[in-house]
Chain A
Amino acid sequence: MVVEMQDPKSGVRGSEQKLNVTSIPHVITGHDVIAWISTKMKTTTEEAQAFGTMLVAYGYIYPLLNHKKLVMCNDTSLYRFQTPYFWPTHQWVAEDSDYAIYLAKKNIRKKGVLEPFEQAHYNHLHDWLNHKWDFVVMQATEQHKAGKERKKPDRVVFDCQERAYWVVNRPSRHTHSAMDCGPDRLIDPDAQNLSFDHYRRLNMFYQQAIMRSKVKSSVSLGALVKYVTTYKNHDPFLAPCLPSNPWQTDNDTYWTLNMRRVDVPTKMRVERWSFSLFELLTDLRGRDDFKVFLKKEFSGENLAFWEAAEELKWGTASSMLTKAETIFKTFLAPGAPRWINIDGRTMGLTVKGLEHPHRYVLEAAQTHVFLLMKKDTFFRYLKSPVYKDMQKKALSPEAHSFSPAQLEQNAQRRNPGIHPIILWQQEEAEKAKAAAASAPVDVKAVMSKIDRKK
């Protein structure tokens, strides 16, 4: 791309520029470069400027006047194309010894006056490359002599190019360099001598992939579009969130209205529960409402089982055995207090699996229960008075409209909110209370307690 830019006919318009006594050929203005990029790549001026800055940052183009600031300005600042010799695409590393030679040469030419950071580098290199120092000085002197023999304009140009190269490759401290890079990748995928085993496994994978059932594009893409349409009004980037986006107005009412344990949720939140059972259960406030409905129907055991299975799946490895036992006793054993009604085959498999429990032992039963809730209970919930009441009660906050003065005030008094650790502790306390309240009643214990009181 840079080569194209230099084409004398269609490239950026160049011109001669007088600098001090000598004139420097092939100089371009920032403005022209940006205009050319803009037209060629059909972008906005802003974007062309960003691209131009990249070209400068990587050293393909260098500024003439303010040579340390590597940005492209959209004005009459002057730039020149760097000679291909110094292009980073060659990928040879800018060696320390080369840098030492450059600094030594500069030292000779400027008779010991270097920039402070260059001086620091020079001292450091002098120590580090001490064994080679004679060689460095010799090279520097040679180059300096050769330079003197060139014509002045050529020499000035070359000096500028060289200086620009080193500004890119050895930037001063506190400047952000485009040449920075992260750690190298460890394994080179192309250098792999792939084994027999690898190909066997790969072929098996391909065969399975070929056999796997796939869905027609029109169906699956249609589903993606449908998802976007369903959630369109809930996306803060597409529709305004009410009363206002906290990041934009510095007012966090939106978050306080949508906290975990509000008495009355917002209309948008209640609407979102109707999108899928997954949404309803993921929002713990929604799950609470669903539990209210289930209690009325005396069918809370399915959800309780599902929650217990989740606890098992995501819990610590050490708690697995005890959890599995409790779940068996509460939900699956014959005559269990919260016995779930699943088909015989799944029940059989699950009970057998529980003899040697692992974290996915309840997968089949959990999926069965979830599907039951999804296909039946969920829809009945949406038509129930519990849900419809909630829809009526739900809040519809008015949009905020803050004056600039009020926005300023908001910014000064941002609410720190409640720390998540405190919220977590509150949640755990609530869960413990709920568990105690809903524990299966031990009839014998109650009876004997009553007896003792008499």
Chain B
Amino acid sequence: MRSPLIPEMATQEVQLNETLAHLKTESETLKTKLEEERAKLHDVELHQVAEKVEGLGQFVMKTRRTLKGHGNKVLCMDWCKDKRRIVSSSQDGKVIVWDAFTTNKEHAVTMPCTWVMACAYAPSGCAVACGGLDNKCSVYPLSLDKNENLAAKKKSVAMHTNYLSACSFTNSDMQILTSSGDGTCALWDVESGQLLQSFHGHAADVLCLDLAPSETGNTFVSGGCDKKANVWDMRSGQCIQSFETHESDINSVRYYPSGDAFASGSDDATCRLYDLRADREVAIYSKESIIFGVSSVDFSLSGRLLFGGYNDYTINVWDVLKGTRVSILFGHENRVSTLRVSPDGTAFCTGSWDHTLRIWA
């Protein structure tokens, strides 16, 4: 025989549900109010301000180097501060350090996992970090001795509860910032592997992050499968700004060179520009003929050009100020998975699922 339902518990549960519903409506109201506040200060559009800026001429960008050597999809790459070396990682677990200028492979490491989705070059040029389905971020010190086995000196730094989607060193070799499929980002001390700060707030996998190029260097932005781009304070772990205008997963975020804005690329086939001081989205870069998602974005040195790598194997170059597409580049035979401009802006590198990397200038 069923036991009778205890009356107090029933009312408690009803109360809880009412409060939850109440919170939800409050949430919606606050969200609308925030949009209203943002709109109040919106007195001009970006392309209007950009009217007096002179238009761009024709661009001749070609593939200057093709780096072949990965046996599987290239997933990520990063530049060294020396402006010519790069590190790249692929689906089969291989991480390769190249001198892209001479196209020589200088180091190669085989990770104990597949899908190495994140890799980064240390600011000193003396180490690289990488990770993926092993849920960890490991740091490998590089060596001048070609015969040295780099895996021997490997250091396990970050530990997440799911796949590592992105990693980046801060201003020194001693700290790494990571983002993961477990929905969090974290800051780690490399020497000890200690967790310094964790960042909670995304409601789904976090796919990308970028550190702010500012004087204080205390903030970073992350993008996730919850369609949100969040700006975080590294000191407190708090989310200080949030933008939710994309219609699908955000695959890539990158700061504008001045640090006052950032761009994002998403599966909804658009790139968007967000102004941090005005606290709103200020431009959408899209075209009816572009229906494939953007996998990665980066700015040219002055911030005038935005390069986007797309899943339809192409690269689109946008005029950031006027909002128009300046150029479309072909060459890869499968989707472009990663794109970064070199530290001195002389070229940009793309990695693709067609197993190659290309340098364009």
Contact = CB atoms under 8 A, between A and B. Distances in A.
Contacts of A203: 23, 26-27, 30
B125 A424 contact: yes
A303 to B, nearest CB: 14
Nearest to B347: A247
Contacts of B181: 185-187
Given A185-B225, A209-B242, A225-B49, A414 B174 contact: no
A187 B300 CA distance: 34
A417 B45 CA distance: 46
Contacts of A186: 162-163, 181-183, 204-205
A214 B203 contact: no
Nearest to B314: A50
B105 interface: no
B82 interface: yes
A316 B174 contact: yes
B47 to A, nearest CB: 10
Contacts of B56: 238
A176 B333 contact: yes
Interface stretch (A40-48, A90-98, A290-298, A333-341): A40-48
B302 A217 contact: no
A401 interface: no
B82 A248 contact: no
Contacts of B82: 417, 420, 423
- Consensus secondary structure, chain A interface: helix
B20 interface: yes
A72 B135 CA distance: 40
B194 to A, nearest CB: 6
A420 B353 contact: no
B275 A220 contact: yes
Contacts of A212: 279
B77 interface: no
- Consensus secondary structure, chain B interface: loop
Interface string B94-133: 0000010110100000000001000000001110000001
B34 interface: yes
A51 B289 contact: yes
Contacts of B330: 46, 50
B209 to A, nearest CB: 16
B133 A183 contact: yes
Contacts of B196: 317, 359
A50 B101 contact: no
Given A176-B334, A187-B181, A203-B23, A315 B85 contact: no
B215 A278 contact: yes
B8 interface: no
A210 B215 contact: no
B313 interface: yes
Contacts of B314: 47, 50
A199 B27 contact: yes
A196 interface: yes
Interface in B299-313: 300-305, 312-313
B277 A214 contact: yes
Contacts of B190: 316
B92 interface: no
A250 B241 CA distance: 44
A315 B191 CA distance: 10
A10 interface: no
B81 interface: yes
A214 B175 contact: no
Contact of A206 (B31, B46, B143, B277): B31
A314 to B, nearest CB: 4
Given A176-B353, A420-B82, A228 B304 contact: yes
B203 A192 contact: yes
B68 interface: no
Given A196-B19, A221-B275, A317-B196, A420 B124 contact: yes
B183 A187 contact: yes
B226 interface: yes
A321 B284 CA distance: 47
A84 interface: no
Contacts of A289: none
18 contacts: A41-B288, A183-B163, A202-B27, A206-B34, A212-B279, A214-B37, A214-B278, A224-B303, A227-B303, A237-B59, A247-B346, A248-B64, A248-B361, A316-B174, A317-B192, A318-B191, A420-B80, A423-B82
Nearest 3 A/B pairs, CB to CB? A420-B125, A206-B30, A231-B302
